[in-house]
Amino acid sequence: MPIIFAVGWLAWILVLTGKKEHSKNIASLAAVAPLLGLLGTVMGMVHTFETIERFGFGNPVLLADGISEALLTTQAGLLVAFPLLLANIYIKRKKFEVFPE
């Protein structure tokens, strides 16, 4: 999950520059964030199935770890992607730069 937030921070640095040249980079990072979240979801579910294989269905507390990993990484990917998409649209449509040179 730290990778998803690193992608988000990098993209927000580009957003704060406010330049239209960075629009493609921001769009790319916004597209990558949900994919990283999906990767974390798959890893969390694999963790859950490995727990089921080792210990069975007897203890739901053991299953909760993998399921929470899957849900949290999905949430992180979406929390990074949605604001970046909105920021990208804003930067494309605006007529001025936030920090003109």
In a domain, 6, yes or no: no
Contacts of 66 (CB under 8 A, 6+ apart): 44, 45, 46, 47, 48, 49, 50, 51
Domains held by the chain: number: 1
pLDDT tens-place string over residues 52-98 = 999 888 888 888 988 998 999 999 888 888 888 888 887 777 755 55
Confidence of residue 39 (pLDDT cuts 50, 70, 90): very high
> 0.75 cut: is pTM over it?
no
54 lies in which domain range? Answer: 21-93
CA pair distance 43, 57, nearest whole angstrom = 19
**What are 91's two structure tokens?**
């930067």
In a domain, 87, yes or no: yes
In a domain, 99, yes or no: no
User: Rounded mean pLDDT of 18-29?
Assistant: 78
Q: Which of 17, 71, 31, 77 is nearest to 47 (CA)?
A: 71
User: Contact, 30 vs 8, CB < 8 A?
Assistant: no
